[in-house]
Chains A and B, each alone.
Chain A
Amino acid sequence: MFSRFSNPAKFEALAGKIAPAAFIIFAASALIGVVMGLFVAPEDYQQGDSVRIMYVHVPAAWMALASFSFIAAMSFVGFVWRHNLADLAARSAAAPGAAFTALALFTGAVWGKPTWGAWWVWDARLTSVLVLFFLYLGYMAIWQSVQDQARAARFARILALVGAINIPIIKFSVDWWNSLHQPASIFRADGPTIHTSMLIPLFALVIAYMALFTWLVLTGVRADLINRRLEARQLRAPSRPVGETELIGGEAS
């Protein structure tokens, strides 16, 4: 399956169809989620209107972890099969993943101020998301520190894999260390414990975030592929007088 779509031409054909579809799904479900979350869903009897932060916060926290899992999976594919596209996908996922993580941290702080009375609490989940954010920063720093992308990819893979192996341990350590956070209330054996009117906007936004992530990653990979082709063309092109070089980008092919 991976080998099939590691062919850039096939990938681009597929991504060209999926990316616009993902964007439409994102726009539609974000609209549903935001409207229902803001106006239809009831306020919480204890937390009041601040419960609405949950619709932004919970999907962001899930996507923070899901994006890193994606990076790790792609790095594994890159590590074993040496597929170039897998590395590009992992790289394109890093910035959205870090953004989701930052969003989860920020909305967590905004929610924590009225609820816990403090912007930041050294609670287990907050802390492990913060550590995850540092992991994202290190991963992106590695990509930035090498000029040659193929070479950078091979360093980045190692860090992503070691990071992925360590995430459960970090999570476990931080849980042991301290937990004030409420236990999970959506995925439980006896069914969800929050009301359907709150679940619909929540899941609409989960779908919106996933679609956004898909769109960003696919677009990132396509942009990388186009950039690479442009560079290759520039290398192949005969040398020109200095004044003409900036025309190459706008040249019709």
Chain B
Amino acid sequence: MIFARALLTRDLGIAMRSGGGWFYAIMFFSVFAALAGIAIGPELNALASAAPAINWLAAAFAIQLTVADTFEADFRDGSLGILAAEQESLFPYFLAKTMLVALTAAAPMVAASPVVMTMFGVAPEKLFGAAVLLAIGAPALVLTALFAAALTAGLRAGGLLAVVIAAPFLAPPLIFGVLSIETYIDQGVFWSPETLILAALSLFMSVLAPPFSVIALRLGLE
């Protein structure tokens, strides 16, 4: 735990200092949404019906792309090799990285999502709930992305392969993420079955992703 905290502090320090590492995800999220808005056109009904889908797609890709090289730097400079040699397990390391992504990529995006949703014509009183729904599903996105990154970091195959590998696993959170926001906006039901399943997907990925990612990281070091 002490180790994980030290690592997280170090990585947060790096993210804050190095030219706004924490800013990329939120920037990508906003730019993607803005381009989607331009592509769809100024028609308000079309924008409003696309809002949940754009919100979730932007979030999924922003997280994918920020996570893609999370382990890469530690692989390259050998620090992951040293950590793996002196630590009994890489779980604390993976936990620290998960927290790092949650704090520097997912949290700013959840905070930015009300702005994007407003631009897409979502009613102001629904904005907070929609952002909370994104926060409920975000762990599933983050952990899927981390798993794919852990698998490809050892392959030294670049971030695009990670996106290809993660794509099939993104389908369930995308489906239930969009459905839960739609149900909330149209019917005003927050704890719909879709929301509960979305939460279940996040819990499921937090059980599935860490052990397999840790195995993949160890493999990559060999």
> Which residues of chain B from 169 to 222 have a CB within 8 Å of any chain A CB?
169, 171-172, 175-176, 179, 197, 201, 204, 208, 212, 215-216, 219, 222
CA A169 to CA B208, docked complex, whole Å: 13
In the complex, the answer to whether A174 meets B222 with C-beta atoms within 8 Å is: no
Residue B4 at the A interface, CB < 8 A? no
In the complex, the answer to whether B171 meets A158 with C-beta atoms within 8 Å is: no
> How many residues of A are in contact with the other chain, CB < 8 A?
27
In the bound complex, residues from chain B placing their C-beta under 8 Å from that of A180 are none
B205 shortest CB reach to chain A, Å: 9
In the complex, the answer to whether A155 meets B165 with C-beta atoms within 8 Å is: no
In the complex, the answer to whether A173 meets B172 with C-beta atoms within 8 Å is: yes
In the bound complex, residues from chain A placing their C-beta under 8 Å from that of B161 are 138, 141-142, 145
Contact of B172 among A137, A141, A170 (CB under 8 A): A170
In the complex, the answer to whether B168 meets A155 with C-beta atoms within 8 Å is: no
In the complex, the answer to whether A134 meets B168 with C-beta atoms within 8 Å is: yes
Closest residue to A128 on the B side, CB-wise? B171
Residue B154 at the A interface, CB < 8 A? yes
In the bound complex, residues from chain A placing their C-beta under 8 Å from that of B179 are 176-177
Which B residues form the contact surface with A (CB < 8 A)? 147, 151-152, 154-155, 157, 161, 164-165, 167-169, 171-172, 175-176, 179, 197, 201, 204, 208, 212, 215-216, 219, 222
In the complex, the answer to whether A173 meets B176 with C-beta atoms within 8 Å is: yes
> Which residues of chain A from 135 to 179 have a CB within 8 Å of any chain B CB?
135, 137-138, 141-142, 145-146, 151, 154-155, 158-159, 161-163, 165-166, 169-170, 172-174, 176-177
In the complex, the answer to whether B157 meets A145 with C-beta atoms within 8 Å is: yes
- Candidate in A138, A142, A146 with the most chain B CB atoms within 10 angstroms: A138
In the complex, the answer to whether A155 meets B169 with C-beta atoms within 8 Å is: no
